[in-house]
Amino acid sequence: MAELVEHPCVQHKLAIIRDVETGHKRFRELATEITEFICYEALKNIKTKEIKVQTPVAVATCRKIDTDIVVVPILRAGVGMLDGILELVPTARVGFVGLYRDEETKLPVTYYERFPPQIHGGTCIIIDPMLATGGSTVAAIDQLKDKGADNIIVICIVTCPEGIELVESAHPDVKIYAAAIDTKLNEKKYIVPGLGDAGDRLFGTSDPE
């Protein structure tokens, strides 16, 4: 199931990050800011426990997060969202998945993976700015589940119906959070209207398309 985060601040920042005139420095800043808002929403039902805290005045009954949080960026563009989550949850652990698409089979191939042991019993957050075809996201979820993860969510900035459908069909237990659900994929498998190549725009490796 996909949930759209429609907070006015998110949508305002989304308008700026989409703009072809937004340079890579501002693009990175916006990716961090938008991710933080989406993560705030995605973690609203996370497991907590009751604790007692001594204030300067009296004992207060409070709540603390009661699960390990593991953030898993899909390389390379997912790294551009990492700071947004770590600012919100600085104790989160970080794993990585590196994938590329085989030119013949068109299927995702793993070239790197590294997960902390806390994926067992913890909450895993896969991050990638664009959930387009959904192939890389499904592959990342497959890898986490193969390693024993059973509580996974996906956070992206922009997605589309094709990507959502593929993830939901393969992993109906995984919820997707996004700032925008765009119209479609074009013939190059770019999201329309999208925001271009997120990796290139994050790291300044080419002009945005």
**Any domain includes 16:** yes
Mean pLDDT of 114-139: 95
Q: Is 102 a catalytic residue?
A: no
Q: pLDDT band for position 194 (50/70/90)? A: very high
In a domain, 208, yes or no: no
What pLDDT does 106 receive?
Answer: 66
Annotated catalytic residue, options 83, 101, 110, 142: 101
Q: What are phi and psi of 174, to 5 degrees?
A: -100, 125
pLDDT at 104 over 90: no
Residue 186 counted as domain residue: yes
Catalytic residue among 63, 91, 105, 146: 105
Number of separate domains in the chain: 1
What integer is the mean pLDDT of 87-113? 87
* Catalytic residue flag (residue 173): no
197 among known catalytic residues? yes
pLDDT over 80 (residue 113): yes
Q: Three-state secondary structure along the chain?
A: CEEECCCHHHHHHHHHHHCCCCCHHHHHHHHHHHHHHHHHHHCCCCCEEEEEEECCCCEEEEEEECCCEEEEEEECCCHHHHHHHHHHCCCCEECEEEEEECCCCCCEEEEEEECCHHHCCCEEEEECCEECCCHHHHHHHHHHHHCCCCCEEEECCEECHHHHHHHHHHCCCCEEEECEECCEECCCCCEECCCCCHHHHHHCCCCCC
Q: Read off the CATH number of the domain in which 110 is found.
A: 3.40.50.2020
Q: Binning pLDDT at 50, 70 and 90, where does residue 189 land?
A: confident
- The domain in which residue 14 lies consists of 2-203
Q: What is the pTM of this model?
A: 0.92
Catalytic annotation present for 205: no
Q: What are phi and psi of 169, to 5 degrees?
A: -70, -35
